[in-house]
Structure 1
Amino acid sequence: MAGGGTGSLRLLVALNGVSYVVATVLLATWRPAPAVAPAEVAAPAEEAGGYRAVLRDRRYLLLVAVNLTFVFGSMILSMLLAVYLTEGLHREAWVAGSLLVLNGLQVVLTGNLVAGRLERFRPTRVLAAASLLNALAFGAFALVAAAPGWAVLAALHAAMFLYNLAETMATPFREELSVSLADPGLRGRYLAVYQLSWNIGQAVAPALLTLLLGRGAAWPWLFLLVLSLAAVPGLLRLERDR
């Protein structure tokens, strides 16, 4: 995209459109076999209480708040990384592309392996470790601006490696924790509130991260670093309350 001009961009948009058509055809022709659950393990019916019951569950709201820190961190791929590299570090756009390729390959190729190795640990401990890795990665991104020119590329890819590792660690365990802490009788409403952390984060992140970047190249990373560190005591509090 960086070297091919608008023609490459148009081609990418067209191919993306084709991929959605293919996905539509696959979904339209998919006929999964109906699964009949035994009576003794049937899902419980939704209980009365609605969202008020969920909002009174301080433990679950703490999980939602902790997840918000991961949501902000996840937004760097689409909203911060390329702008930081091109505007803050004055690097070529292909550098951002190489970091995104590294993210995709590392997550796809190592996700199952990492999750399998960590499944014997408590989800709260895994998520706390992932938060610390995120903090380390964000700190490294912030320090890249002060690195000598010959070390910038290596430092960026090392920081991206740490960020990707945190992502592969956190993703399955966040979802597991959101389900396990939900009241089975109100699970649908619990997970809807959990999803709000994604909606809120995705709505707020563009303006907030852009505002911070306007104040200095390191500010968004320092903000994300502080958020990641703040998640750790919250996760340990969830573990003590279990």
Structure 2
Amino acid sequence: MIDKSIRQVEAAVADIHDGASVMIGGFGTAGMPDDLVEALLASGARDLTIVNNNAGNGERGVAALIREGRVRKIICSFPRQSDSHHFDAAYRAGEIELELVPQGNLAARIQAAGAGLGAIFTPTGFGTLLAEGKETRRINGRDYVLELPIYADFALIKAHRGDRWGNLVYSKTARNFGPIMASAAKITIAQVNEIVSLGALDPEVIVTPGIFVRRVVEITSKPVVAA
């Protein structure tokens, strides 16, 4: 019997090792798998390469990993914003490496990894510092830059609902990078609001098939404590 459900969030991330590359879904805080990231932080894993849309918000998620010195390198498209102070401090101190990737290229390179492509040509970045040292080619009268796929050892993503086979559906824009990251990592771990019985998910609306998912952990709503 295939059962990818995991009861404890800590157990779901227990094999993320020092030096691992980890994709983390989310667009800002939308779709960010906060509980998985908190468990990763508690695990003590360090020297990580993180692939995310940005470099963290405030004190949680990717920002917390950077604050605690767990991130060696970050690959992202939007590293600086009003609440990215932990990244700013680490970068200025030379404590973290940044690979800046335009957002469309970031998505395309992750998709290329999931599709098994060796590389892609994209017009974005041609003629800029981002194209330095990379192969370029003119195709049908337009200039392109060769970009390599982005793979990862692990992907941490958030979905709305899942089943024990790992099939996932998302909530509106919280989907963002989740599906493509799931296809580009060796091990994908999904936190969901609810694990439902087999057959409860309409096959026509499943976005991420279970073949791309190794573990699913249900995160129930946390109780609100009165002041």
**TM score, norm. by length of structure 1:** 0.23
Which structure has the larger Rg over C-alpha atoms? 1
Query: Which of the pair is proportionally richer in strand?
Result: 2
Query: Which of the pair is proportionally richer in helix?
Result: 1
**TM score, norm. by length of structure 2:** 0.24
Q: Which structure's relative contact order is higher, taking Cα pairs within 8 Å and 6+ residues apart?
A: 1
